[in-house]
């Protein structure tokens, strides 16, 4: 992650704008910073009196926690699709993304797998019964 530009450079740029009366664009060219940065620094100085950088990064709380997490775990005990869970959560007033639901389900091992016993074991009435691979390939 990038680091903020030094406070010393920020202060020199803001002083040049306020004392010399030059524009933020001209000060940006003089000090070799982007115009948008210079404008933000001057605006921040006018509003707060400081040019100190704001916080970078931070903690974003998990939306799927508490009662929503309990509901989701209980709901995942029967068959589900991730997109279906997103839609059901939206009906409950929780706006989440597909990826958030996937991470939640994956972290708790809540995948729904079809059982092998549910596969069709009898050929349909329209087709012949499936043969073993060895019979089809001619290998014995």
Tens digits of residue pLDDT in 27-65: 999 999 999 999 999 999 999 999 998 887 777 777 888
- Residue 41: inside a domain: yes
* Tens digits of residue pLDDT in 58-67: 777 778 888 8
Number of compact structural domains in the chain = 2
Are 88 and 76 in contact by the 8 Å Cβ rule? The answer is no
Is the residue at 75 inside a domain? yes
> What pTM does this model have?
0.45
Cα angle, residue 60 at apex, residues 59 and 62 outer, rounded to 5°: 130
Mean pLDDT for 73-85 is 85
Q: What distance in Å separates the CA atoms of residue 13 and residue 37, rounded to the nearest whole number?
A: 10
**Domain match, 107 and 72 both:** yes
Calculate the alpha carbon distances from 119 to 110, 114, 115, 122 in Å: 22, 9, 8, 9
Residue 106 lies in a domain: yes
Residue-range definition of the domain harbouring residue 84: 67-112
């Amino acid at each position: 992650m990038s680091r903020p530009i030094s406070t010393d450079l920020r202060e020199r740029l803001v002083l040049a704008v306020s004392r010399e009366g030059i524009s933020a664009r001209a000060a940006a060219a003089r000090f070799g910073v982007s115009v948008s940065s210079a404008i933000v620094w001057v605006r921040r100085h006018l509003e707060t009196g400081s040019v100190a950088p704001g916080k970078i990064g931070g903690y974003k709380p998990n939306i799927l926690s508490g009662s929503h997490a309990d509901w989701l775990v209980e709901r995942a005990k029967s068959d589900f699709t991730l997109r279906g869970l997103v839609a059901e959560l939206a009906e409950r007033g929780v706006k989440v993304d597909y990826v958030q639901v996937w991470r939640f389900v994956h972290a708790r091992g809540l995948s729904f797998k079809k059982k092998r016993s549910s596969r069709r074991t009898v050929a349909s009435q329209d087709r012949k019964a499936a043969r073993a691979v060895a019979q089809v390939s001619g290998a014995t």
